[in-house]
Amino acid sequence: MGSEGEVGARSTTLVVSLAAGGRIDKALADAVPDLSRARIQALIAEGRVSLGGRPVGDGKSKAQAGDYRLDIPPPEPADPQAEAIPLTILFEDEHLIVIDKPAGLAMHPAPGSETGTVVNALLHHCGDSLSGVGGVARPGIVHRLDKDTSGVVVAAKSDAAHQGLSALFARHDIERVYMAFTRGAPSPIRGTIEGAIARSTHDRKKMALVKSGGRHAVTHYTVARTFGPVERPLAARVACRLETGRTHQIRVHLASRGTPCLGDPVYGSGAPAGPVRAAIAEAGLTRQALHAAVLGFVHPVTGQALRFESALPPDLSRLETLLEAL
């Protein structure tokens, strides 16, 4: 598979090369990660996907080998409104912006949090320069951090950067390291957690490991230090390196080992030991103890190697200090 595109004044045209076999909508969504399958299906329904000059009639049909043309209309006027929300900017040029996101700030508007998001802040800071490839509700957004996960995140300001960054994420050609504080410590001290992740059939707000279906997910981890008795740690600081980037991936994978992120309201089943609970309360931790500490990639337009680090925010730094006393 491959894709190339050209951006016109009124619309974006992508040409995607597909091999024969597999559903057209799924194959196109896999080839163009910043377009969801639902959006691909909508484009097909609107007659905006063609092969050999003829519109594709049904996204469920099997793909024929060839170059598929996707005519993506310009985004509608963005529903999100610009808001003067302070941003900690680590890097910015005409193509992209890298910020250090605080916990409690959602990435984009969604039911229940239509304002006060990264998108609202970026619309204020960047104006009309944000990429519109991702659709009206998420201008510039290439990847996401959970609302209550802090740390480094990149957003696209140009369509070229958006498409280039999306390709890097799709190829897993991005360095992403997260720091997690866990209940107990994963064993062994260094390893890989691998397992497909899908929406939970019991709770639609949760993700879960599944034996069939789902999306392949891989997390490499290293226990950086433990707290409490060496033979049976009460908590640990764990460095997690993402090979893939699925929704809630680290939280689901760590919980699957019986070592969920401290403070995680969704996956943190089972209370930590009393001294750890006391440390959480004294630190004022009211969210999952997870921080995106490192983001590294090659600039998709200039070719410059970029790497950004973010120190632990005050709540996690204080938590670590208190855990060290155990």
**What pLDDT sits at residue 10?**
59
What size, in residues, is the chain?
326
Catalytic residue, candidates 146, 148, 264, 315: 146
191-196, long-range: CB within 8 Å, 24+ apart, which pairs?
A: 191/220, 191/221, 192/218, 192/219, 192/220, 192/221, 193/218, 193/219, 193/220, 193/221, 193/253, 193/254, 193/256, 193/257, 194/218, 194/219, 195/253, 195/256
**What pLDDT sits at residue 133?**
58
SS3 category, 40: helix
**What pLDDT sits at residue 7?**
37
**What pLDDT sits at residue 103?**
98
Residues 6 or more apart from 162 whose CB is under 8 A from it?
34, 131, 133, 134, 140, 142, 156
SS3 category, 51: strand
How many CB atoms are closer than 10 A to CB 10? 7
**What pLDDT sits at residue 8?**
38
pLDDT tens column, 269-324 = 889 999 999 999 999 999 999 999 999 999 999 999 999 999 999 999 999 999 99
SS3 category, 147: coil
Residues 6 or more apart from 48 whose CB is under 8 A from it?
55, 70, 71, 72, 73
**What pLDDT sits at residue 75?**
61
**What pLDDT sits at residue 135?**
60
The alpha-carbon radius of gyration of the chain (Å, integer) is 21
Q: Cis link prior to 188 (omega < 30° from 0)?
A: yes
CATH no., domain 12-72: 3.10.290.10
pLDDT one digit per residue (tens) for the chain, 326 residues: 444 444 334 578 899 999 999 999 999 988 888 788 888 988 888 888 999 988 888 888 899 999 999 998 866 544 788 899 999 999 999 999 999 999 999 998 876 677 899 999 999 998 877 776 566 556 788 999 999 999 999 999 988 898 899 899 989 999 999 999 999 999 999 999 999 998 888 887 899 999 888 889 999 999 999 999 999 999 999 999 999 999 999 999 999 999 999 999 999 988 999 999 999 999 999 999 999 999 999 999 999 999 999 999 999 999 999 999 99
pLDDT tens column, 234-279 = 999 999 999 999 999 999 999 999 999 999 999 998 899 999 999 9
Residues 6 or more apart from 186 whose CB is under 8 A from it?
221, 223, 236, 238, 254, 257, 259
**What pLDDT sits at residue 154?**
97
Of the options 3.20.20.70, 3.30.2350.10, 3.40.109.10, 3.30.1360.30, the CATH number for the domain spanning 175-325: 3.30.2350.10
**What pLDDT sits at residue 9?**
40
Tokens of 4: 């190339």
The residue extents of the domains of the chain are 12-72, 88-171, 175-325
Residue in 8, 171, 30 with CA at minimum distance from that of residue 16: 30
What per-residue string of b and e applies to 31-59 under the rule 16 or more CB within 10 Å gives b?
Answer: bbbbbeeebbbebbeeebbebeeeebeeb
Instruction: Tell me the DSSP string of 178-200.
Output: EEEEEES--SSSEEEEE--EEE-
Residue in 8, 21, 24, 13 with CA at minimum distance from that of residue 59: 24
Q: Is 146 a catalytic residue?
A: yes
CATH fold match for the domains 12-72 and 88-171: no
Question: CATH class for domain 88-171?
Answer: alpha beta
